[in-house]
Amino acid sequence: MNTAQSLLKTYSLFNSEKLEENNVEFLRVKMNWTMEPYGKQVVADKKDIRSGDYLAIMRLDGLDPLVMFGTGGHTGHSAIAVWDGEELYVCESTDANPFGPVCMWF
């Protein structure tokens, strides 16, 4: 494959009508990982989440599959649930953020 073809294929991981399909194919070819088809999204009830619960995040958006390829893992991001009194926070493991801490409350 020449450089131009490679650039176009990489671009298709980020911007394409077949975004998810291209990312699934990238993972199959480059990481030998065939993803199982997934059904409806399941949303956890807040009361079922405990402090310390690990959240493994994987999006088929171009960036996460490249992170997965680079690290050899099957996730693009990691987060942890933290309860502070009645407030639930989800904190992402990340480098220093120039905009402040990366925590969301629910």
Instruction: Please state the separation of Cα 102 from the chain's center in Å.
Output: 15
- Report pTM: 0.72
Q: How many domains does the chain have?
A: 1
83 or 105, which is more confident: 83
Query: pLDDT tens digits, residue range 17-47?
Result: 999 999 999 999 999 999 887 777 778 889 9
Calpha distance 99→45 (Å, rounded): 29
Calpha distance 83→1 (Å, rounded): 50
Query: pLDDT tens digits, residue range 56-98?
Result: 888 899 999 999 999 999 998 889 999 999 999 998 877 766 6
Structural domain range at position 72: 3-40+47-105
Give the residues across from 78 on adjacent strands: 56
The helix (H) or strand (E) run that includes residue 72 is none
